[in-house]
Amino acid sequence: MKKEWPLWEVFVRSKNGLEHRHFGSLHAADAEMALENARDVYTRRNEGVSIWVVESKNITASNPEHNAELFEPAQDKVYRHPTFYDLPDEIKHM
């Protein structure tokens, strides 16, 4: 039996009001151990108030090689931005 402990991704909320942010990854045998290890590895100096761990294999990532198909369609849609619309200078607060 030569099984490596699975890899987990760690997300930490640094304080209430902020979103959880990816902090890094670590190995642990199960979710509970992953949380405990994340506490020791990533929050030794009060960096967080909440931790999420998710096994890395459960994350589906987009492929950067497909970035063109995926993200370019947004590039020619300037009408999604407020600056696309011409308004008279007298109009304030809009």
Partner 1 sequence: MSEAQIKSLEEEFEARIARDEKIEPKDWMPEKYRKTHIRQMSQHAHSEIVGMLPEGNWISRAPSLRRKVALLAKVQDEGGHGLYLYSATETLGITRDEMFQQLHSGKAKYSSIFNYPAVTWADIGAIGWLVDGAAIINQVALCGTSFGPYARAMVRICKEESFHQRQGYEITLKLAQGTPEQKAMAQDALNRWWWPSLMMFGPKDDESPNTAQSMKWKLKRKTNDELRQQFVDQTVPQAELIGLTIPDPELKWNEEKQGYDFGEIDWDEFWQVVKGHGPCNKERMKARVSAWENGEWVRDAAIVYAEKQQDKKLNKAV
The residues that touch partner 1, with contacts defined as CB under 8 A, are: 1-5, 7, 24-27, 29-30, 33, 40-41, 44-45, 61, 63-65
Q: Whole-number minimum distance, CB 71 to partner 1, in Å?
A: 14
**How far apart (Å, rounded) are the C-alpha atoms in residues 67 and 74?**
11
Question: Would you say 64 or 73 has its CB closer to partner 1?
Answer: 64
Q: How far apart are CA 2 and CA 93, in angstroms?
A: 65
Instruction: State the minimum distance, in angstroms, from the CB of residue 86 to partner 1.
Output: 34
Nearer to partner 1, 64 or 82 (CB): 64
| 80 Cβ contact partners less than 8 Å away, ≥ 6 residues apart | 74
DSSP-derived 3-state class of residue 82: helix
